[in-house]
Amino acid sequence: MIDENGSALPAHGVPAERVLGEIRELRGRDRPTHGGRLFAYVYDPGVAGLDELAAAAYAECAHVNGLDPTAFPSLLTMENALVGAAARLLGGGPGTSAPEAVGSVTSGGTESLILAVKAARDARTGVAAPRIVVPASAHAAFAKAAHYLRVELDTVPLDPATLRPAVADVAAAIRPETVLVACSAPSYAHGVVDPVERIAEVAAAAGVRCHVDACFGGWTLPYLRRLGAPVPAFDFAVPGVTSISVDLHKYAYAPKGVSVLLHRDPALRAPQYFAYADWPGYTMINPVISSTRSGGPIAAAYATLRHLGDDGYLELTRRTREAVRVLADAVRGVDGLRLVAEPESTVVCFTATATATATATTDSGPDLFVLVDELAARGWHTQPQLTYAGLPRSVHLTVTAAVAPRAAEFAPDLAEAVAAARAAGPIALPAELLALAGSLSPQALTADLVAGLAAGLGLGGGGGLPERMAPVNTLLDAAPPALRERLLVEFVSLLQRPTH
Ligand SMILES: Cc1ncc(COP(=O)(O)O)c(C=O)c1O
């Protein structure tokens, strides 16, 4: 039994079995990572024995330090093998369009993107105020990179019909200070592939690097293509693409903590490194943000790739594609819902045909936030996406291979959840609260106001989350992005309180 108020450091050590029991008990409160009913955060191939293999490989190398490849050549070998596999898949390596491609293993997509921006920034030391150009659909990690690296972010709006930027707008956004143009293959929110060829062309014409963020789907797109899907060119086969990121902890199904950042050649990678010898300790040479790095994730990813193999990924992609088809059909079959985009990768994203709100009663679509809760009550964990820049609120499903055996169960549950959401009606927050969310400036948010809002929404008290998130999502949806950020920082910091 866990002591909720206990710290991790008891006066006297606790026996191993009890400690593991505590962790298992805590895990029992999480969303299920396996079983094919979770559509975000976790990528599950549903392959028996793979978890055990990855865990054993992880344990073998958990204490090995990637800080110094000369001390631990095992990690260097595995890292080079992972980068080689990613390069082979994405058009690099001998006999391909980028035979000189090199790369690094990072801790995740965010780190890969930060490093792509750092390399681009540091390649242009003459630019005093560097900028990057990204479509509005680019992952938030680019904004984080811009923030951390003091680079300006120029966001190109999306065409609401295609959910892609117009290439002319990308070209127009490139300035003399632009050090990087980025695009996604595919985007996380909607799963659509940007027009990489034409974006890379305008970037190259301006003499600017072009990064393809294939963190999410870079591992599946080549297999989808082999299965006959119409996947446009997006990798090093495209002239002008200078770097590509692909997360192994997503569709390569490795445990968390592994992404690969590829560059077309070593000269492009050079400014990614950080080296420092001007202190009395060891000379620090880091290709990535961390210095000390556990060998665990690298070994686990290596074991996963070796065990699944190219044919294994092809088969997993085939299953995923079939699951996407079944889920998309389920959405098409429900009155009041529509797909935001025809699935072209492994995302199913849908919205209500008309968004129900508290003030409009004639809408035909259900309140999507209520629907998300109703689906969760039926064991399907989907991800709500808020209204943004003219795009409606939507529901996101990241589909993985483990969903395939369960996919047929989705349609009846979805129909039932929609009926329940309709019967419950849209969330009706007090009009003053919605007006406040729409008008409050983030700076005006006081601690008292946050505490009051959190209490009213059932957040914060005792550190737990309310069972139904629709009221919270409705409030956030009514707020502009800057206020959403502030509110969520405050709400999350209420949850992050040390136990003593
Ligand atoms: C397209 C894309 N890029 C970057 C990231 C960031 O990856 P991570 O969460 O591993 O940092 C994600 C995560 O979902 C993503 O979908």
Regarding the beta carbon of 131 and ligand 1, being less than 6 Å apart is answered no
Q: How far apart are CA 359 and CA 427, in angstroms?
A: 10
If you take atom 15 of ligand 1, which residue's CA is the nearest one?
216
On the question of pLDDT at 290 being above 60, the answer is yes
Q: CB of 217 closer than 6 A to ligand 1?
A: no
DSSP 417-480: HHHHHHHH------HHHHHHHHH--GGG--HHHHHHHHHHTT-SGGG---S--HHHHHHHHHS-
The whole model's pTM is what?
A: 0.96
Whole-number Å distance, alpha carbon 361 to ligand 1 midpoint, is 37
pLDDT at 261 over 80: yes
Tokens of 73: 């050549």
The rounded distance, in Å, linking the Cα atoms of 307 and 433 is 53
Write the pLDDT tens digit of every residue in 432-474.
Answer: 888 988 899 998 888 888 888 888 787 766 556 788 999 999 9
By mean pLDDT, which of 136-145, 252-261, 426-435 is the weakest? 426-435
Percent residues over pLDDT 90 in the chain = 86
Percent of the chain whose predicted confidence (pLDDT) is above 70: 96
Least confident of 260-274, 323-337, 477-491: 477-491
Looking at the CA of residue 111, tell me the nearest atom of ligand 1.
Answer: 11
Mean pLDDT of 164-172: 98
What is the tens place of the pLDDT at every residue in 368-390? 999 999 999 999 999 999 999 99
Pocket perturbation via mutation, ligand 1, pick of 139, 183, 260, 400 by most ligand atoms within 8 A of CB: 139
Contact 382, 347 (CB under 8 A): no
Token pair listed for 148: 């951390």
Contact yes or no for 154/165 (Cβ under 8 A): no
Question: Of the segments 419-433, 456-470, 485-499, which one has the largest average pLDDT value?
Answer: 419-433
Average pLDDT value for residue range 85-104 = 94
Helix axes 481-495, 447-456, angle to 10 degrees: 80
The CB density around residue 332, as the number of other CB atoms within 10 Å, is 12
CA distance 399 to 466: 26
CA dist 75 and 294 (Å) reads: 9
318 touches 227 (CB < 8 A): yes
pLDDT tens across 393-422, in order? 999 999 999 999 999 999 999 999 999 999
Whole-Å CA distances, 265 to 98, 261, 417:
8, 12, 51
Separation of CA 393 and ligand 1 centre (Å): 20
Ligand 1 atom with the shortest distance to the CA of 187: 1
Provide the pairing of β-strand 131-135 with 152-156. parallel
Average pLDDT of the segment spanning 237-259: 98
pLDDT value of position 268: 98
| Ligand 1 neighbour 247 (Cβ under 6 A) | yes
Q: Of the residues 106, 110, 112, 253, which should be mutated to test ligand 1's pocket, given the most ligand atoms within 8 Å of the CB?
A: 110
Contact present, 261 and 106 (Cβ < 8 Å): yes
212 pLDDT higher than 90: yes
**Is 261 within 8 Å of 103 (Cβ atoms)?**
yes
Atom of ligand 1 nearest to the CA of 217: 1
Distance 110 CA to ligand 1 centre (A): 6
The band of 361, judged by pLDDT with boundaries at 50, 70 and 90, is very low
Whether residue 110 has its Cβ less than 6 Å from ligand 1: yes
**Phi, psi values for residue 195, rounded to 5°:** -75, 80
Is residue 120 scored above 60 in pLDDT? yes
| Residue 399: half-sphere exposure toward Cβ, Cα within 13 Å | 30
Q: Is 139 in the pocket of ligand 1 (CB under 6 A)?
A: yes
- Residues 6 or more apart whose CB falls under 8 angstroms from that of 302 comprise 57, 78, 81, 82
| Residue 359: burial class (beta carbons within 10 Å; 0-12, 13-18, 19+) | exposed
Rounded distance between C-alpha atoms, residue 340 and residue 323, angstroms: 18
Check if 194 has its Cβ closer than 6 Å to any atom of ligand 1. Answer: no
- Say which residue the tokens 């556990």 belong to: 294
Using alpha carbons, list the distances in angstroms from residue 467 to 24, 318, 451.
21, 35, 19
Q: What is the mean pLDDT of the chain?
A: 94
Lowest pLDDT segment from 20-34, 39-53, 119-133, 430-444: 430-444
**Mean pLDDT over residues 93-98, rounded?**
88
Q: Is 191 in the pocket of ligand 1 (CB under 6 A)?
A: no
Q: Is the CB of 216 under 6 A from ligand 1?
A: yes
Which of 147, 117, 122, 144 shows the shortest CA–CA distance to 132? Answer: 117
Is 398 close to ligand 1, i.e. is its CB under 6 Å away?
Answer: no
Dist. CA 429 → ligand 1 center (Å): 32
| Whether residue 188 has its Cβ less than 6 Å from ligand 1 | yes
Location of structure tokens 């119409």: 230
pLDDT score at 362:
45
